[in-house]
Each structure stands twice: as structure tokens, then as C-alpha cells.
Structure 1
Amino acid sequence: MDCQPLIKQLVYKCLNIDHACLLCDEPSEQHHPLCLACEHELPWLDEHCSRCALPLPMAGLTCVQCCQRAPAFEQVVALWHYGFPVDSLISRFKHNRQWPLGRLMAELLGHGLQHRYDEGLEKPDLLLPIPLAKRRQRERGFNQAGMLARWLSVPLAIPCDERLLVRIRETTAQQDLHAKARRRNLRAAFSVMHGRMIENRHIAVVDDVLTTGATAQAIAQLLRKSGARRVDVYCLARTPKPGQA
């Protein structure tokens, strides 16, 4: 009789590892509810721009846009390409209230960030989620960026403030606009409450997906003008340029 499966099950129970994988429903055999096979199949973002995390053919490069005009943020940290199945997971988290999926992705992002801190990435003083438009927050019932920031805050031991950065003007949904229109759409859309709280501090802005970077740029500019020493952006996924695989 082969006792290996039984021994493995006992080990997992002793370690309180009894999750089912949220993608395939098989035993995850890990501390988070994702099996190794599904974890390896995620679209990990390995080669990307060193500033804005735009997917590139090689690692260690800076994209043309960031070379021509350096963004107000110092660095974007994203785990994945915005592709299957991550795009579906994010959509189900945001629009179908499948919060366990958001919690899982935040946990994996937290692991990735801790690894980068260990390798020398400067750890921020404060996490600020990108605020959602009031109308969309009423419709959705929650701000996905706020939930991600809270889930990151505890394991990373970084304070999170959901009231310091506010949206003061309703805007058209960004996904319906091209890049230049996105920038126009965000003019004077945000404000910082109690600006003295961010003076000379390193801030990390948290969101789910970075597309053109217009929102991150607008907020980073505002934070820098308000006295922030450095602004980074933490997100789950980064989209490629339109038409790029």
C-alpha cells in the first residue's frame, strides 16, 4: 500500500493547509488557495520597463515613453500581464464581488513585494489606494483598490490611509478613452487631504490594473507637489500597448 498520499494529507493538515485551489478546485497544498500548477500558469510579468512596468521583450530596459519623459512616479511594481486568467480573476473580484479572488491576488502581490524589499527595493512609509468615483463606488459598493491596500497593509507592516487621497470631480470611465483623453479627463480630479501627512514621505499608490498610467501619473504629480519624497505604484497587472501581444 502506498502511504505517500496519506502522509502528505496528514502533513498538510498539521500545517493547516487544507485549501482548495480557487482556479481548478484541486487541493492547493500551499498556504494560499492556489495550487502550484495553476500558479505556474499565471501570466507573470518578467520582462518589463524598469519605470512603468510596460511589458517589453527584454528585462532591464526602459520604454521609449519613460525615456522621453520621466513619469512623476519612481517605479511601478506589477506581478502579471493583464491576460488570461488574471484578467478574468480581476473582473470577477471587481464586478462580481468574488472577494476571495482579490484576497488571493493581494496575498501573492504581498509576497512579491516582500521579495523585492529583501532584494533592496525601498519600502514605502504609507499605502494610498486610488479613490473610486463616488457614483461607481455607490454602484459597486466597495473600492477594489482600497481592499487591496488593506490586505497588503497588515502582512507588509505598512500603514494604509483611505481618506488622505480623494476624488473631487466625477470623471468618465477611463477604459472608454484613448491615452490623451485619459490625461484630460483626470485634470483636477484628485486632491490630498492634510498634505502635511505626506511631506517628505515615500508613498505607494495601490490599484488593480495599470493601463496607460494616466491615473498613476496624475496622482503621483499631485503627491509630489504636496511634498511627497517618492511615489511608487503597486498593482496586480499591467496591460501591454494596444495591439501588442
Structure 2
Amino acid sequence: MHLFTPFVEFLLPTLCMACEQVQTKLLCANCLAKITLNMLNGPPHCPTCGIPIATPESPCFSCVEHSPAYDETFYIDSYAGVLQTALHAYKYQRRLACAAGFSYLWNHCAAKVTLQSSADYLLPVPLGVRKLTKRGFNQSWEIAKRIQLPKTVRKIPNALGRIDDETSQAQRNREMRKEMAQDLFYLNTDWSGRFKNQRIIVFDDVMTTGATMNAIASLLKNHGAKHVSAWVVLRTLPKSAPFAI
């Protein structure tokens, strides 16, 4: 079957999901190089929340004053970068092929992070039943399930649950997100007591204020988890980031 792949790609050209130029791959070489360069040569980031800071490997003032429940954050690119349009097409226009593209990007750009991971589990951020039914897929899980991880890391799509909420997170301000997120998530009964002393990756497509990630990390740590890593495709960065301590 693999012998026919080049021929099929020639007959069925596609668009680069970032720049939308016609070619045969989901991501063209130029965009891949640009994203990789940004990730490798970008400014220092707060190791906890991921926002740009002045001093490498130091926490930002916000994380020092109000330490989040999650312990570290990794992401591929800024939400304002070249992948924003592709993410919108993936989530809202059901361009499901982009899931493979985002997974490929993670495997390519964050290979060192994934291969050195000492986590026990990877859990995607869940959708409520209504939103999952309407969208037809959990965008975080479709990406996460294709990420290459050590065999010791178990990927569990349904350990976390989310209470149905009609209001989109995008329609809320920062304070509203923090307040509402605390009561949205729960641990499914089958997984109660299974995460004690475990290291867990929580995977999401976008991280904006960190309220969702913080709520899930708090939930997991209340059930005994000892370390929670936030892995996201895109991170919304503030226009003026807090300085490091």
C-alpha cells in the first residue's frame, strides 16, 4: 500500500494548513521551519505557565504570587502565530486532517520533551456531552492520540469528564473563566483512586488564561496526583508579560 502513496499525493494535492499554499503535505517545509525556529529560538518562558519572561528558568511574578496547580507548561507556538487559522478550520469547520498535522508538529518540534517525559498518563481535556455531540469529536484527543510517547505513558481518553456548559470559554473574560472552570470537571468513577502518586500530562489544543488547566490539575492533585504537566498546541500570550523573579 505504501508504494502508491507518492502517486496518490501527486494526484491529490492539498493545502499547507498554515499558509494554505498548494502542495502535497499538510504542512509545507517553509512553515515547518518557521515554527521550529520560533520554538527553539523564542524568548525565555516561565517554566510553570509558559509566558515570556526576562530571566530563563525563573517563574513569572504571577506564578510566584498565585502558584497554579499545574507544574509546567509546554506548547508549540503562540496562538497569534501562523497556526491560528488552521486550528479554527480544524475545530469549527471539521478539517479533521489537521489533527494529524498538529500531531506531526508536536512530534517534530517537541521530540525532546516527549521522549524525556517521565509521565504515567496522558489525559485530554474533555468536552461536555452536548458540545461533543455537536462537534462530533474531541479536538484535544484527536491530536493527543497520535503523539509519540514512551510506551510507559498510558493515554486515557475518558478518565476526565466535563459538565455541560452552553457558554463558550471564548465568550468569557479572565475572571469569569477562573470562576466557572473550578466546577466544570470531574473524575469518572472508574478512575477514582488510580492517579495517586502519578505524574500526569493534560493535553489541550489552546491555553488562554490557564483556568481550565488549573481546574483539572487541582482536581487531579486532590485525587493524589504528584505532578501535572500542561501540554498544549497553542498558547495565548499576554501583550505585556510579567517579569521573572
Q: TM-score range by the shorter chain?
A: 0.7 to 0.9
Structure 1's unaligned 5+ residue stretches are 1-11
Inter-partner Cα distance in structure 2 for 1:122 and 1:68: 27
Deviations 1:197-235 (A, max 9, x none): 211111100100100000000000000010111100111
AA matched with 1:60:
E
Structure 2's unaligned 5+ residue stretches are none
Are the equivalent residues in 2 in contact too, given 1:55–1:239 (CA < 8 A)?
Answer: no
Inter-partner Cα distance in structure 2 for 1:130 and 1:235: 10
* TM norm structure 1: 0.81
Inter-partner Cα distance in structure 1 for 2:139 and 2:199: 22
The 1:20/1:63 distance shift into structure 2, 3 A limit, reads same
Does the alignment pair 1:39 with 2:44?
A: no
Does the alignment pair 1:92 with 2:89?
A: yes
Inter-partner Cα distance in structure 1 for 2:58 and 2:204: 23
Specify the SS of the correspondent of 2:193. Answer: helix
Give the alignment of 1:111-122 within 5 angstroms: 111-117=108-114, 121-122=116-117
The 1:169/1:117 distance shift into structure 2, 3 A limit, reads closer
Inter-partner Cα distance in structure 2 for 1:183 and 1:227: 22
What is the RMSD of the two structures over their aligned residues, measured on CA atoms? 2.7
Deviates more, 1:101-110 or 1:53-62: 53-62
Considering Cα pairs closer than 8 Å and 6+ residues apart, tell me whether 1 or 2 has the greater RCO. Answer: 2
Number of aligned residue pairs: 225
Inter-partner Cα distance in structure 2 for 1:62 and 1:243: 15
* TM norm structure 2: 0.81
Inter-partner Cα distance in structure 2 for 1:156 and 1:20: 31
Aligned to 1:145: 140
Could you list the runs of 4 or more consecutive aligned residues of structure 1 that deviate by over 4 angstroms after TM superposition?
A: 16-21
The 1:81/1:57 distance shift into structure 2, 3 A limit, reads farther
Does the alignment pair 1:62 with 2:59?
A: yes
Select 1:231's aligned residue among 203, 206, 228: 228
Task: Report how far residue 156 of structure 1 moved.
Answer: 4.6
Are the equivalent residues in 1 in contact too, given 2:130–2:164 (CA < 8 A)?
Answer: no
Aligned to 1:126: 121
Deviates more, 1:51-60 or 1:76-85: 51-60
Are the equivalent residues in 1 in contact too, given 2:114–2:149 (CA < 8 A)?
Answer: no
AA matched with 1:105:
F
Deviations 1:51-73 (A, max 9, x none): 11113466434222112122111
Aligned to 1:7: none
Are the equivalent residues in 1 in contact too, given 2:128–2:161 (CA < 8 A)?
Answer: no
Structure with max Cα Rg: 1
Task: Report how far residue 155 of structure 1 moved.
Answer: 5.2
Are the equivalent residues in 2 in contact too, given 1:94–1:144 (CA < 8 A)?
Answer: yes
Inter-partner Cα distance in structure 1 for 2:141 and 2:121: 13
Are the equivalent residues in 2 in contact too, given 1:202–1:228 (CA < 8 A)?
Answer: yes
Inter-partner Cα distance in structure 2 for 1:242 and 1:133: 31
Does the alignment pair 1:104 with 2:101?
A: yes
Are the equivalent residues in 1 in contact too, given 2:129–2:164 (CA < 8 A)?
Answer: no
AA matched with 1:62:
P
Give the alignment of 1:1-245 within 5 angstroms: 22=16, 23-26=20-23, 33-42=26-35, 44-45=38-39, 46-47=42-43, 48-56=45-53, 59-117=56-114, 121-152=116-147, 156-157=150-151, 158-170=153-165, 172-193=167-188, 194-241=191-238
